[in-house]
A and B are shown apart, each in its own frame.
Chain A
């Protein structure tokens, strides 16, 4: 009788361990989008939209091919507003590997200024692009103001911290 009871316990333990380990082994997909006011002055103004590679054309038809050829898996995007005025969009491309993210980043123009962000990054007057692991982040502002570069950089650091 005692022998049978031990068997029951053993099976129960195996089931629990298997359940825990199966969820625990899954790589947690982090949400890279800072909530409102997590970065000073920035409000998140839209829901995050996520596009699988096969649906990327719905978001950036025409641009999609270059990301697909670089191995994009999913693309997430969300809109932000700085101090109620400056609008920006954050796109996070999750690639198959770091090489894909590097490939896209390297298509930048010669006037890009390198910045210390993630594994590598560049900045322009109205945009910041950086990569970290297999992620490529592109943040674009729709207006050029004296505050734009610093505000974008702060948001970029906020995103980078969540990757």
Chain B
């Protein structure tokens, strides 16, 4: 761990800066919903490593980095991780890494994953100071094991409690929200780093639900099992435009009792779920938890009275955020 931390600090000098504005290779291949221009399918990669958790619950950081590389290589078709990342992120912009620490210690985006992504971003030419790891507040970030830092010469890490929220609300459907200034003013692109969880209201929380952490009062969007709250929120133009990639943390998960930490319902999928289409990602995540629940003899979400209806809503004509039809999801499991 110390090596990677040292790397992040020394890279802060900008020695790795390439400086040029890279073209979004993926954008050329995919349309605005992350669907392949020719096939019309959304690509989702599930990369697994069953040996990811060493003895006990500790993650093997080298294996996490290797898993990330495999996932990104499979998604982009580029074996070289640095080249692959250059396809994903634009140069010269601030890249936000939106973690999810809501569930508290034990069921938050893993620190080793955040560090691995920050390392690869810098190797691809993103200046350390142009990387912002962020969430609702310091507590959520600390739950991930992160340390607050606003020094622009290093990878920054702070919450919307520091940056504040826009005074003027934005409205889309039922969502009337005040957005975090980190999203609206700071970041040029955001990579979502949700953690896969059961959710007592919504059924499942993953890529789209992670956006509840970018508004000042997420509790206002919980009615009706977060439907259509999740879909409406993700339709807000600045979210739609900036949150262009997701690296879903399914290294650890809770299959019931979420979104808080319930060790008795903890499970280790040892996986990363990667893609651009957040609807397709959420559909895939839903199936993963559904499968686990069946394995341990639990009711389906439908039978439990909380199917994640917001996924279908997000895919409907009015929202058109992506696809939830499995026939239109190009799922790669590696």
Contacts of A143 in B (CB 8 A): 56-57
A36 within 8 Å of B (CB atoms): no
The stretch among A17-25, A92-100, A119-127, A155-163 that forms the contact with chain B is A119-127
Is chain A's binding surface mostly helix, strand, loop or mixed?
A: loop
Contacts of A64 in B (CB 8 A): 219
Q: Contact between B205 and A62 (Cβ–Cβ < 8 Å)?
A: yes
Contacts of B199 in A (CB 8 A): 62
- The verdict on A142 contacting B212 (CB below 8 Å), with A62-B200, A62-B205 known, is no
A61 within 8 Å of B (CB atoms): yes
Tier of interface size on chain B: 20 to 34
Q: In the complex, which residues 38-61 of chain A have their Cβ closer than 8 Å to any Cβ of chain B?
A: 57, 60-61
A109 within 8 Å of B (CB atoms): yes
Contacts of B56 in A (CB 8 A): 143-144
The stretch among B100-108, B166-174, B309-317 that forms the contact with chain A is B100-108
Q: Contact between A63 and B260 (Cβ–Cβ < 8 Å)?
A: yes
Given the complex of chains A and B, what is the CA–CA distance between A123 and B226 in angstroms?
A: 31
Q: Contact between B104 and A89 (Cβ–Cβ < 8 Å)?
A: yes
Q: Contact between B260 and A142 (Cβ–Cβ < 8 Å)?
A: no
Contacts of A108 in B (CB 8 A): 264
Given the complex of chains A and B, what is the CA–CA distance between A125 and B222 in angstroms?
A: 31
Q: In the complex, which residues 261-275 of chain B have their Cβ closer than 8 Å to any Cβ of chain A?
A: 261-265
Question: Scoring B residues 234 to 270 as 1 if CB is less than 8 Å from chain A, else 0, what string do you get?
Answer: 0000000000000000000000111111111100000
B40 within 8 Å of A (CB atoms): no
Give how many A residues have a beta carbon under 8 Å from the other chain's beta carbons: 24
Given the complex of chains A and B, what is the CA–CA distance between A60 and B136 in angstroms?
A: 13
Contacts of B262 in A (CB 8 A): 127, 140
Q: Contact between B265 and A141 (Cβ–Cβ < 8 Å)?
A: no
Question: Scoring B residues 51 to 66 as 1 if CB is less than 8 Å from chain A, else 0, what string do you get?
Answer: 0000011000000000
Q: Contact between B106 and A62 (Cβ–Cβ < 8 Å)?
A: no
Given the complex of chains A and B, what is the CA–CA distance between A64 and B199 in angstroms?
A: 11
Q: Contact between A124 and B264 (Cβ–Cβ < 8 Å)?
A: yes
Contacts of B307 in A (CB 8 A): none
B83 within 8 Å of A (CB atoms): no
Question: Scoring A residues 98 to 128 as 1 if CB is less than 8 Å from chain B, else 0, what string do you get?
Answer: 0000000001110110000000000011110
Of A64, A107, A140, A141, most buried by chain B (CB within 10 Å of CB) is: A140
B201 within 8 Å of A (CB atoms): yes
Q: Contact between B201 and A109 (Cβ–Cβ < 8 Å)?
A: no
A76 CB to closest chain B CB (Å) equals 15
Given the complex of chains A and B, what is the CA–CA distance between A127 and B263 in angstroms?
A: 7
Question: Scoring B residues 106 to 120 as 1 if CB is less than 8 Å from chain A, else 0, what string do you get?
Answer: 100000000000000
Q: Contact between B218 and A61 (Cβ–Cβ < 8 Å)?
A: yes
Q: Contact between A62 and B263 (Cβ–Cβ < 8 Å)?
A: no
Contacts of B257 in A (CB 8 A): 107, 109
B254 CB to closest chain A CB (Å) equals 11
Give the interface of B toward A (CB within 8 A).
Answer: 56-57, 102, 104-106, 199-202, 205, 212, 218-219, 222, 256-265
A/B interface sample: 13 pairs, CB < 8 A: A57-B219, A61-B218, A62-B201, A62-B202, A62-B212, A62-B222, A62-B258, A62-B259, A107-B257, A124-B264, A141-B263, A144-B56, A144-B57
Give the interface of A toward B (CB within 8 A).
Answer: 57, 60-66, 87, 89, 107-109, 111-112, 124-127, 140-144
Return the 5 tightest CB-CB contacts between A and B, nearest first.
A126-B263, A57-B219, A124-B264, A62-B259, A63-B260
Given contacts A107-B257, A109-B265, 6 further A-B contacts (CB under 8 A): A61-B102, A62-B212, A109-B264, A126-B264, A140-B263, A141-B263
